[in-house]
């Protein structure tokens, strides 16, 4: 494989990763707001907050993988 092809592939993958991370952060924030997962919940019931955040993160990752990675 040529050096330039490797650099081009690396650049493409780095851009794709950046897009996926930005989209993931956006989805997580939107879901937190929609489901009222707040810092107050975290302070009052850490286990409920943790469960909600794990669920949100998993669902957001599924969406990002389908939209960006597996397209």
Tell me the C-alpha distance between 55 and 24, whole Å: 13
Which DSSP symbol is given to 2?
-
Cα–Cα distances in angstroms (integers) from residue 28 to residues 23, 59, 61, 68, in the given order: 9, 9, 9, 16
Q: Tell me, what's the pLDDT at 70? A: 87
The DSSP annotation for 12-62 comes to: HHHHHHHHHHHHHHHHHHHHHHHTT--HHHHHH-HHHHHHHHHHHHHHHHH
Greater confidence (1 vs 61) lies with: 61
The domain locations on the chain are 3-69
- Please write the tens of the pLDDT for every residue from 2-35: 999 999 999 999 999 999 999 999 999 999 999 9
């Amino acid at each position: 494989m040529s050096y330039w092809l490797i650099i081009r592939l690396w650049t493409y993958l780095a851009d794709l990763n950046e897009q996926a991370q930005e989209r993931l952060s956006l989805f997580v924030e939107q879901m937190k707001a929609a489901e009222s997962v707040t810092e107050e919940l975290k302070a009052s019931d850490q286990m409920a907050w943790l469960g909600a955040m794990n669920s949100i993160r998993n669902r957001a990752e599924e969406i990002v993988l389908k939209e960006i990675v597996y397209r």
